[in-house]
Every structure is written in structure tokens, then in C-alpha cells.
Amino acid sequence: MPGNAISRALPWVIVGLLALFPVLDSTFYTQLLTKVLIMAIFAMSLDLLVGYTGLVSFGHAAYFGLAGYALALMGPKYEAASLWWTLPGAIGICVVFALVTGLVVLRTRGIYFIMVTLAFAQMLFFVFHDTKLGGGSDGVYIYAKPTMNLGETVLVTLEKLDQFYWLVLFFTAATYFLLRRILGSSFGRALMGIKVNEHRMRALGFPVFRYQLASFALAGGLAGLAGYLAAVQFGFVNPEILSWHQSGAVLMMVILGGMGTLHGAVIGAFAFVLLQEVLSNQAWFGIAAKHWQLAMGILIMLVALYLPQGLAGLMAKLQRKPPAEAEEGADV
């Protein structure tokens, strides 16, 4: 089928086009796009839980922020940290934390699960907010961005905007293809089965808890990847990075884009970051830009009420129904 071929090639084409972006040589837009791509990784990691495993986590920022703090605290203070081991280290810490918290939170379901994931994220928030461990409420600066060295030669330095952008693009693409692969495997199918009918999966002999825990840990690790990259981009971490506003924002990205579709999470991250950027643009909205969260809040409520399948769902609907047909359909 040609349609199938197009949809298979499309992600590669988009990655290719995105890779060319730094040619435009716009610092502002490269930075913005870097942020979008980092958030896309974060959103995809949450989509794995919400959209594919049926676990609505409202504390996903915990892993995002934890990795940021891991980078800030593991690396040397004034020299560049080594990407070689700080990145796997940060991700590893997040996976372990997800496994430990997962043992508790996965005993709960529904509303309880939402609240308990939130509470665990808050716990971590207070660990960094109230103790001296991570500089309290002021946070920690990351003075030098990590580098990837081979012997004495510096292969990659994240100080360079373009190199950082390409690395982020690489990880975004890798996350997308990795998750697509996993979701097409027996393991992924089992997760989707659990989302649809957990009880029946258990009756069929699936050790549901173990699958959920594996999914939870994987999502935590990928959120850690995103958090590490975000900390590198911002150049500092403070408790806000793992606040519940962050968890809410990423949930919004997933739903805005359309949960249960990986590309939806990417679209959602793109739309959300751009919206944030536009609504808070003082040149356009003047004094109202200061209160951009008001518009964002209203928008979020509208999405929750009227766009439950998100932008991806909207696009699929439009594709399936050309306008003329849709009108006919409306009469029925």
C-alpha cells in the first residue's frame, strides 16, 4: 500500500528535515526547537504510561527533575561533566527510583494512582526544596555543559548550540523508534491489553504487575533522558523542574497531541511549547502576556471538554472524512 509506505517514511523525512534546521543559523529558533524536542521525549515517555499502559501518572515530572539534579550533583562543579557516564547514570537513577516507587504506586488504581503518583513527586520536591542536598529552593547551577571526550579529543560539546540540537534530535528520534518497536512487540501488545482489560489479562495468565512495573521503569528512564537534556539546556535546576505544574504540563501535551499515538505526543509537545511561547509574547499581547497562564488554563479546559482525542485524533477524523462527506454524515 502506498499510504502505508508514506506513513512509514514520514518520520524519517521529518527527522532529516529537522537535522537541516541549524543551517538557518537562528539561535532563537534552534533553542526553541531544542526545547520542543526535549519536551517531545518527555511527552512520549508519559504517553507510554497514559496512552498505552492505562496508568494516568500525575507525578511524571519527578523523573524529569531527578535526572536534572543527578547531572547537577554528579558532575564536577566548574568543569564540564562527561556525557559518557553522567547521562547513563542519570537515567539509571531514574529507572531505579521508578522501580522503587512503582512497587508502591502500582498497588493502587484509578483516582488513587493519580493521587499517589502526585504525592511521590511532591515528596521528591520537598527533598530538594527543604534540604541542602540540591541547593534548597534556589537550586544548583550547571556552570559547564557536558562534553563527550575520547581520550584528549572533545568529540561533542553541548556548549555548542548546533551540536546540542543534533544530540537532542538524535535522542528524540531514537526514543520514537525505540518506543514504536517496543509497542509493536509482544511486550507492547501485553501493555495495550492491560490498558483495555486488566482483569482479563490476569485471567489469561499475564503477570500484570510485572508488565506495569517494567513500563513504569521504562517511562521513568525516558523521562530522565528528557530531564537531563532539559537541565543542560537551562543551565540550572531548581525544585520547580519537578513540581506538579510540570507534571500537569506534560500530561496536557500528551492529551493535546492525542494520547495513545506516539506522534501525537510529539505534536502535543510542539503545540504546547509554541503556545506557551506565543501567549507569553509581550510584543504581541502586551500586558496580557504577563497573565498568559489564564489563556493557557482556559485552553486546557477546552481541550479536556471538547478535544478528548487531541490533535492527532482531530487529524485522523479529518483525513477519514473529506469535508463534503462530513457534511453528509452530519445529516444522518
What is the contact surface with another protein in residues (CB under 8 A)? 50, 56, 58, 104-105, 107-108, 110-112, 114-116, 118-120, 122-123, 126-127, 129-131, 181-182, 184-190, 192-193, 196-197, 199-208, 214, 244, 248, 251-252, 255, 259, 291, 293-294, 296-301, 303-305, 308
Q: How far is the CB of 207 from another protein (least distance, A)?
A: 5
Q: How remote is the C-alpha of 184 from its chain's centroid? A: 20
* Residue whose CB is less far from another protein, 77 or 181: 181
The neighbour count for residue 208, using CB atoms within 10 Å, is 18
Q: How remote is the C-alpha of 288 from its chain's centroid? A: 28
Q: What's the burial of 82, exposed, middle or buried (CB within 10 Å: 0-12/13-18/19+)? A: middle
Q: How far is the CB of 35 from another protein (least distance, A)?
A: 20
* Residue whose CB is less far from another protein, 105 or 269: 105
The secondary element (H helix, E strand) that includes residue 86 is helix 83-105
* Residue whose CB is less far from another protein, 11 or 193: 193
* Residue whose CB is less far from another protein, 55 or 168: 55
Q: How far is the CB of 107 from another protein (least distance, A)?
A: 4
Q: How far is the CB of 276 from another protein (least distance, A)?
A: 12
Angle at 176 between CA 23 and CA 269, to 5 degrees: 70
- Residues pairing with 140 in the sheet: 237
The neighbour count for residue 209, using CB atoms within 10 Å, is 14
* Residue whose CB is less far from another protein, 162 or 277: 277
CB 142, CB 236: distance < 8 Å: yes
Q: How far is the CB of 202 from another protein (least distance, A)?
A: 5
Q: How far is the CB of 300 from another protein (least distance, A)?
A: 3
Cα–Cα distance for residue pair 37/269, rounded to 1 Å = 8
* Residue whose CB is less far from another protein, 190 or 226: 190
